[in-house]
Amino acid sequence: MNQFLDISPLVKKALENNEPVVALESTIIAHGMPYPQNVETARAVEKIVLNEGATPATIAILGGRIKVGLSDTDIETLGKKGRAVIKVSRRDMPYIVSQGLDGATTVASTMIGAAMAGIKVFATGGIGGVHRGAGETMDISADLQELAHTPVAVISAGVKSILDIGLTLEYLETQGVPVLGYQTKEFPAFYTRRSGFNVDYQMDDVASIAKLMHAKWAMGLRGGLIIANPIPTHQQMDEVVINAAIDRALREAKEQGIHGKESTPFLLGRVKELTEGDSLVSNIGLVFNNARLAGELAVAFAGGD
């Protein structure tokens, strides 16, 4: 086992018995939502996964250890510290681990922790992607490269239109990452079910997705896949309202020269402020919905095929 990895006893036992496990990220806790909703959401997500018959494994770096399976106290601490906890993607891991620091893991680094532990299913809210204007800034989330290389299935509600959705899908195609729509042929835009872009394949049940995962890895095709799970209809945001907030947040980010790893948290925070908390309600709803699907998928995947 990796010398920097700590797997909690519950997660370890589940993995040893080949039982379903669902990985969960911690940047969404520390940087994605305000306290105390972040902690409440993280705990509720774990319960949803449990209810589906799978073991939740929230991942973060604490005191330089890559922790797979956090305690209630760990989640509370991360949520309270919020943005004071360093956002850790792949390139940040050597520094945080070697210096014994705490870090909130993004989709990329959570996939790395999950893969080290042997977890194949991971639920999040939204993944990073190609930013608008990336032709000049080259701001492309490391999440996409991770999906290209690391064998984990990521359930997300699509990507927000703070990103260039079309270019994100082009990039994933180049990198050989399958994008599957759960009961949809349209790739969802996080707050809304529609984006105007199609997924590669619509898949209507978890058994078929589990079969596809087994086939991909049995062929020796490296890397992950995306299961795009649209936000439930009644929790969608008004398209005009959310797009206006996103456009304004993007303008402000440009004016203030926000870039690099600060870009995504800044945009998410401004969108939330501009929609006066409505976006937070949608965000929590879609995360719950993803946790449910991830639990079901992990159960189907562990059942083998």
d(CA 21, CA 219) in angstroms, rounded, equals 23
Residues from 259 through 278 that contact ligand PSU (CB under 6 A): 261, 264, 268
Q: Least separation, in Å, of the C-beta of 131 and ligand PSU?
A: 7
Nearest to ligand PSU of 293, 300 (CB atom): 293
Is 25 tagged catalytic? yes
Residues from 17 through 36 that contact ligand PSU (CB under 6 A): 25, 27-28, 32
By the 8 A CB rule, do 57 and 122 touch? no
* Type of residue at 15: L
Tell me the number of residues near ligand PSU by CB under 6 A: 19
- Contact flag: residue 106 with ligand PSU (CB under 6 A): yes
Nearest to ligand PSU of 14, 119 (CB atom): 119
- Which pair of tokens denotes residue 48? 């949803």
Is 67 tagged catalytic? no
Q: Least separation, in Å, of the C-beta of 147 and ligand PSU?
A: 11
Nearest to Mn ion of 158, 295 (CB atom): 158
Q: Least separation, in Å, of the C-beta of 228 and ligand PSU?
A: 13
Near ligand PSU by CB under 6 A: residue from 20, 56, 79, 128: 128
Question: Beta 55-62 vs 65-68: how paired, if at all?
Answer: antiparallel
Polymer length in residues for the chain: 305
- Contact flag: residue 188 with ligand PSU (CB under 6 A): no
∠ CA(167), CA(171), CA(176), 5° rounding? 145
Near Mn ion by CB under 5 A: residue from 52, 139, 143, 146: 139
Q: Residue 66 binds which entry of Mn ion, ligand PSU, none, with Cβ cut-offs from 5 to 8 Å by kind?
A: none
* Contacts with ligand PSU, residue ranges (CB under 6 A): 25, 27-28, 32, 89, 106-107, 125-128, 141-143, 160, 190, 261, 264, 268
